Amino acid sequence: MQLDQKVKRRNRESGLTRFKPRIVGRYGGEFEGPTVICIGSLHGNEPAGITALERVFDQLTKQSPVFRGELIGVAGNLKALGKGIRYIEEDLNRIWKPHIIDELLMGGNQQQARSAEESERSELIQVFAQVCQKKNSAVYFLDLHTTSAQGSPFITISDTLRNRAFTENFPVPRILGIEEQLGSTLLNYINEWGFITIGFEAGQHDEKSSVENSIAALWIMLVGGGCIDPEEIPDYQSSYLELKKASMDNVGFYEVCYRHDIEKESGFLMEPGYLNFQDIRKGEVLARNSDGEIMSPENGKIFMPLYQKQGNDGFFVIRRINPLWLKLSSILRRLHADKILPYLPGMNSQNGANETIVVNSGIAKWYVIELLHMLGYRRKSLEKGMLRASRRKFDIKAPLDYRFDIEFKNV
C-alpha cells in the first residue's frame, strides 16, 4: 500500500499516469528522410525517458517545424512502469537473443510468453518490425535510460565506426565494450539491423535533470540524423550546453574492463556515495556481500554502481581509451586488416569467413583481446580454452538499403 502510494506520487510528479500506450507519439512522415525510433523506460523504474518523449512531441506539435522523415516514440516495459519497478519477472533489457527474436518474426515460435517481459518483448518487436518494414531510408535508434547512482550522463554503443562517428554529435562521455559484459540487450540486437544505435543514460532515476538531459539527447539525435535544423528548436543551444555542463570533464571514449556480477551472490551492498565516473584504486573496498568485502580489481573509474534492489550488475570499472588507439583502430578496420587474423598463431576464422574468429587461448596469448577489439571483434564466448569473437555486420558501411530482405511473416 505504501509502495503503491509512493509510485502514484512519483508518477504524478513525473507526469506519468498508470497506464501508458505502447506508442508514445509519432511526428513527421510527410517528407522524405530518416526514421528515428526512440524507446523510453525499457526499465520500469526509469520514467524520465517517456516523460522526455512526451515533452518533445508536445513541443513538435505546438511549433510544427519543418521535419524530414519521422520520429516514433515507444514505451518500454509498460507493466513494470505501472508499478515503478525495474522489471516484473526478468530484465527486459537482457532477453533479446537473436535466434529467438528472428524466430518470433518469422512466425516459427508460437510459444506462449513465459514471463511478463517476454510478452512486452513480443509487442515491442512487432512495433519495430512494422515501423522498419516500410522504410527505405536510414534508421536511427535511441534507447533512453537512467541509473541508480548519481553522476555524469553518458552514451553506450556497440563498437562500430558508424556508431562512433555519430556520437561525435553528443557532448558526453562514450562507453565501448558493454556488449561484452551484458548479454542480449536490445541495442545489441537492433544494431545488427544496420541502424545507428545509441544508448543514452541521462542521470539518476528521479532527478528532474535526467528528463532535461534526455530531451537534449533526443534533439541532438534528430539534428544529427538530419530530421530537423537546430534553428527550428528554440532552446536547442541552451539544452546542448546544459548537457555539456552535466557531463563535467568526462569527455572522450571509455572502455568497460570489469563487471561485478551479483547473480549468484547474496547480500550485495554498495558502499555509499559512489558516483558514476569517480576515480577508484585497485584494492579499494567498493561493496560488501555475505562473504565480506568486495574490492576493485584494478585502477580506473567506477561505472553504474548499483544502488537499487533489482539488477545483476553490481558495478563496472571503466578506463579512458587513448585517442591514438581509436584512430589506429579506425585505419586498420578501413584497410581490412582483419584478413591477417587467420594467419596468426592460434587463430582461425569460423566457417572460412572472418565474421567470427576462433582463438585458442592456450596458443595465442599476447594482446589477443586488444588486437580483436582494435579490429572490431568483441568476445562472444569462452569454452574449453576456445574464445569466439565476432564483429558487427555494419561496422563501416550502412546497409545498401533499409528495406529488409527478410520477409517478417509474423508481423
Binding site for Zn ion (CB under 5 A): 43, 46, 145
- Give whole-number Cα distances, 292 to 50, 63, 267, 282, 297, in Å: 39, 57, 10, 17, 15
User: Which residue, 34 or 199, is less far from Zn ion as judged by CB?
Assistant: 199
Least separation in angstroms between CB 73 and Zn ion: 17
Choice between 39 and 318, CB closer to Zn ion: 39
Beta carbon nearer to Zn ion, 43 or 259: 43
Residue 332 CB, nearest distance to Zn ion (Å)? 33
Closer by beta carbon to Zn ion, 46 or else 179:
46
Distances (CA, A) of 52 to 46, 75, 153, 250, 288: 11, 11, 15, 24, 35
User: How far is Cα 399 from Cα 380, in angstroms, rounded to an integer?
Assistant: 23
E strands in 205-352: 253-261, 269-270, 279-280, 285-289, 292-295, 300-303, 313-320, 347-350
Shortest CB 203 distance to Zn ion, Å = 12
Phi, psi of 362 (to 5 degrees): -75, -25
Residue type (1 letter), 239: S
Cell of residue 390, nine digits: 565476432
Q: Rounded to the nearest whole angstrom, what is the least distance from the CB of residue 138 to Zn ion in the complex?
A: 26
Torsion of CA 111, 113, 114, 120, to 10 degrees: 150
CB nearer to Zn ion: pick between 212 and 395: 212
* Minimum gap (Å) between residue 311 Cβ and Zn ion: 9
Name the residue nearer to Zn ion (CB basis): 261 or 407.
261
For Zn ion, give the closer residue by CB, 185 or 296: 185
Shortest separation between residue 277's beta carbon and Zn ion, angstroms:
17
Give residue number: closest CB to Zn ion: 145
Q: CA–CA separation, 290 vs 276, rounded Å?
A: 25
Q: Closest approach of Cβ 133 to Zn ion, in Å?
A: 27
Instruction: Confirm if 278 and 316 have CB atoms less than 8 A apart.
Output: no
Q: What is the 3-state secondary structure (H, E, C) of 133-202?
A: HCCCCCEEEEEEEEECCCECCEEECCCCHHHHHHHHHCCCCEEECHHHHCCCCHHHHHHCCCCEEEEEEE
